[in-house]
Amino acid sequence: MENQQINSGNARVDYEYRRRRNAEEMRHQVISFAISIFLTLVAFGAVLAGFDKWFVIPFILLLAVVQVIFQLYYFMHMSNKGHEAPQLFIYGGVIVGFATLLCFLTIVWI
């Protein structure tokens, strides 16, 4: 059962535990937010600095993927228990999407 009620037998303790846990999760989210801003700045910086495009393009794509992983796992709680099926189907979508993208980058012009 994914929704185990926290149960120490003492309602006040349970409540305080939950509040603290929610607050801790919120701290994680804010850290993720800060990291996302940082990654965005780095990406924009890389482009503005005018590095060689064969470096910049894979680099900013990597930064985007990392940022999305943070957002999926923290903002959208994909790291939490009870998210196995969502994970399976998001990765499924990513696989099909990736195959599509790969196709359109390689075999669409003859």
Residues that bind another protein (CB under 8 A): 2-3, 5-6, 11-12, 15, 18-19, 22, 25-26, 29-30, 33, 36-37, 40, 43-44, 47-48, 53, 56-57, 60-61, 63-64, 67-68, 71-72, 75-76, 82-83, 85-86, 89-90, 92-101, 103-110
**Which residues, at least 6 apart from 59, have a Cβ–Cβ distance to it below 8 Å?**
43, 46, 51
Residue number, 79 or 99, with CB nearest to another protein: 99
CB of 85 to another protein, least distance (A): 6
The least CB distance from residue 8 to another protein, in Å, is 13
Residue 68 or 79: which CB sits closer to another protein? 68
Tokens of 89: 């189907």
**How far apart are the C-alpha atoms of 42 and 36, rounded to whole Å?**
10
Compute and round to an integer the Cα radius of gyration of the chain: 20
* Closest separation in Å from C-beta 59 to another protein: 10
Which residue's CB is nearer to another protein, number 6 or number 79? 6
Nearest to 68 by CA among 49, 93, 105: 93
Q: Let me know if 74 is exposed, middle or buried by CB neighbors in 10 A (0-12, 13-18, 19+).
A: buried
